[in-house]
Amino acid sequence: MRTRTLALAASGAALFAAVTLAPVAHAGPARGAGPAGADLKEGSVSAADLLAKVTSCSQISNGKYRTDEETSATIPVCGKNGAVFWKADMDIDCDGEITAACNEDTDPWFQNGTAFETSAGKPLNAEKLPYVVVPSISSIWNYSDAGIKGGGVVAVIYNNKVEYAVVGDTGPDKIIGEASYATAKALGIDPDPETGGAESGVTYILFKNSKVSPIESHSAAVTAGDALAKQFIQNN
């Protein structure tokens, strides 16, 4: 659980029931493949198709969130059929298992735990596992009441790329827009926990009542995410 968010250096509805899938081989296109500017994605749903469904916001949060400690509160949580979403920045969460990229030396705010843990009861590995941070429960919004849970599936979209992740950690109760080192790296965002991240342009679509098991299986998240994304497009 993060207590401080990093400022950037540059100052059929059944499918939406709990999704529990075993790991499978990921046969999607390799990250970074294709011509420059191409729509790169995991699974079969494009960034453009997902973004077309989140052009307007029906606000479900009681207030709005900051993207960093020093910014004003401008980011609402929005509701759609089968999902919630927000559009924000991306700060880098390196919390969890100690690795070469994520430790007390690389991240001044490093914590060796995550709000949600692996199937073996250990912290998640931010360097290897794409995961997203949700704001801690507050009067602004309660993610649990909205059908969002640890291990839930998230489609993260940036620069015409789609990356599937899981809900892996909780953060400050007034700040939004944070994901793991692995999420940033997969999307072509500088993953450095101290100086990296993206200032804006990141869309997070969280699928309600979904859950990847085991939470640490990225291939399971991709399989579930692709199916949920297709259903999301059909239902919105």
Chain segment 147-169, per-residue pLDDT in tens: 999 999 999 999 999 999 999 99
CB of 136 closer than 8 Å to CB of 116: no
pLDDT at 208 over 50: yes
DSSP assignment string, 132-149: EEEEPS-SS--TTTTT--
pLDDT at position 39 is: 53
What mean pLDDT do residues 130-158 have? 98
Q: Give the pTM.
A: 0.86
CB of 24 closer than 8 Å to CB of 103: no
What mean pLDDT do residues 135-140 have? 98
pLDDT at position 42 is: 85
Give every CB contact of residue 234 below 8 A, 6+ residues apart in sequence. Answer: 12
Beta bridge partners of 157: 162, 203
Tokens of 97: 């298992």
What mean pLDDT do residues 208-218 have? 97
Q: List helix spans (H) across the chain.
A: 47-51, 181-186, 218-235
- Share of residues in the chain with pLDDT > 70 (%): 83
CB of 131 closer than 8 Å to CB of 169: yes
Higher pLDDT, 14 or 193: 193
| Closest listed residue to residue 207, CA positions, set 229, 188, 192, 174 | 229
Q: What are phi and psi of 186, to 5 degrees?
A: -65, -30
Categorize the per-residue pLDDT at 194 as very low, low, confident or very high, splitting at 50, 70 and 90: very high
